[in-house]
Amino acid sequence: MEWLTVHRGRPDPGPLREMDLWWNLIGRTLGRDWDVTTDDGDPHAVDVVVTRDAYLIATVLPGPDVLVEVHDHDVRADGVPVLRSRVGITARRPPDGFYFCATIPAVVDVDRIEAWLLDGVLVVRAPLTWAGRATA
C-alpha cells in the first residue's frame, strides 16, 4: 500500500474549476449530499460510500503517480480566502489528463483527509467532523 500526500489549496481557475462549480450547483439542485464527475474522454467508475464516520471514495487507476487535492475555500478578488459550503476533492494524473472530482458537504475534517493507492485502487477517506457525525 502506498500512502499519498493530500494537497490542500485553492481551486484552479481553469476548466476543472468550472466543472466543480457546475457539479456543486447540480448536487444542491438534486438534493444529493455528494457528486462525482470524471473526464469524459477517459471515464472511470468512482464509488462513494458514506459511513457514520467518513466519506470513502474509490476508483481503479490505470497507473501510478496520482495527485490528490482538497479545495475547501475560494479566493475573493482581493485575495481573502472564503470557506466553501462544499469541499472539492480532485484526483488527477497530469501527463495523461485522467481526473475525477468529488464534491461533498463541508462537514468533513479537511486536515484529516487521507489517500492511499492499493493494487491500482485509489482510496480517499474524508472523515466527518463531530458536527457532521451528529447530523449523520
Report pLDDT for 114: 95
Report pLDDT for 123: 92
Report pLDDT for 73: 79
The string of pLDDT tens digits covering residues 19-41 is 656 655 666 566 566 777 776 66
Order across the sheet with 121-127: list the strands.
Answer: 2-4, 114-118, 121-127, 54-60, 46-50
- Cα separation of 94 and 103, whole Å? 20
Report pLDDT for 61: 78
Overall residue count recorded for the chain in this entry = 136
- Cα separation of 91 and 74, whole Å? 18
What DSSP line would sit under 72-128, residue for residue?
Answer: EEEE-TTS-EEEEEEEEEEEEETTTTEEEEEEEES-B-GGG-EEEEETTEEEEEEEB
Report pLDDT for 109: 92
Q: Can you give the pLDDT of all 136 residues of the chain as single tens digits?
A: 788 888 876 555 555 556 656 655 666 566 566 777 776 666 668 888 889 999 999 988 766 788 888 888 777 778 787 787 788 888 887 776 677 888 888 889 999 999 998 888 889 999 998 765 655 5
Cell digits of residue 65: 503517480
CB 35 within 8 A of CB 102: yes
